[in-house]
Amino acid sequence: MGKLRLGVLASGWGSNLQSIMDAAAAGKIKAEVAVVFSDNNDAFALERARKAGIPARHLNPRNFGSKDECEKALLKLLNEHGVQLVCLAGYMRMVGKVILDAFPNMVINIHPALLPAFPGLCGQQQAWDYGVKFSGCTVHFVDEGMDTGPIIIQAVVPVYDDDTADSLAARILEQEHKIYPEAIGLIAEGRLKLNGRKVFRL
């Protein structure tokens, strides 16, 4: 069985992208990053991809007449690189019907909170502001909703009295870098079964 070809979509720093590239390069997962895409030309994620010798592509959504038009161009790009699994890693846009229909149950995301708590932007800050004692991160399948798809893996992180929003975010990020490659590895080995909202490990 060949390696699962990943298309990673990232808008910013790209530390999750890095953890995926590192796991792939170390042979820890049967997957390879085929292309990295960003909607933001300044994203450091693109730089990380180039450094690793991986195609790094940018499209400016503002140059398209509609979201569908932009996604069609993105889909073409993903297909050109033989992408099988789309991984959102700090991608600041909602993925729409064009991409979701083209990759049924093959679009995943990492969210920095224990879903369904604190979906949307700044999950770490939301959890911190709320005053929870535990937070964490979630890898999930992507559907049309905002962080609403079936949950693949979660990691729990304690919140300490002397934490700040930043120290909590750093503790969560450390776990993100573990569970995202782990989830990709499970999909690459065909070891996940989806039954309604529930995801089982085979």
Selected from 4, 6, 7, 15, the binder of ligand GRF by CB under 6 A is 15
Q: Max CA-CA distance within the chain?
A: 50
Is residue 14 part of the contact set for ligand GRF (CB under 6 A)?
yes
Identify the residue whose tokens are 């949950």: 151
The answer to whether 111 is a known catalytic residue is: yes
Read off the amino acid at residue 85.
Answer: L
CA nearest neighbour of 37 among 60, 57, 12: 57
Going by their DSSP bridges, the two strands 198-201 and 192-195 should be labelled as antiparallel
Is residue 48 part of the contact set for ligand GRF (CB under 6 A)?
no
Is residue 181 part of the contact set for ligand GRF (CB under 6 A)?
no
Selected from 6, 7, 9, 16, the binder of ligand GRF by CB under 6 A is 16
Angstrom distance (rounded) from CA 165 to CA 156: 16
- Report in angstroms the alpha-carbon separations of 12 from 9, 89, 93: 10, 9, 12
Which residue among the candidates 81, 111, 140, 177 is catalytic per the annotation?
111
Q: How far is the CB of 65 from ligand GRF (least distance, A)?
A: 27
Stretch that binds ligand GRF, among 10-18, 99-107, 182-190, 192-200 (CB under 6 A): 10-18
DSSP per position, 93-120: S---HHHHHHSTT-EEEEESS-TTSS-S
CA nearest neighbour of 85 among 69, 71, 99: 99
Selected from 34, 75, 86, 90, the binder of ligand GRF by CB under 6 A is 90
Is residue 108 part of the contact set for ligand GRF (CB under 6 A)?
no
Is residue 149 part of the contact set for ligand GRF (CB under 6 A)?
no
Collapsed DSSP state (helix, strand, coil) of residue 140: strand
Is residue 12 part of the contact set for ligand GRF (CB under 6 A)?
yes
Shorter beta-carbon distance to ligand GRF: residue 50 or 76 = 50
Selected from 111, 140, 157, 188, the binder of ligand GRF by CB under 6 A is 111
Q: Which tokens go with 183?
A: 């989830």
Interface with ligand GRF by CB under 6 A: which residues?
10, 12-16, 89-90, 110-112, 173, 176
Active site residues: 111
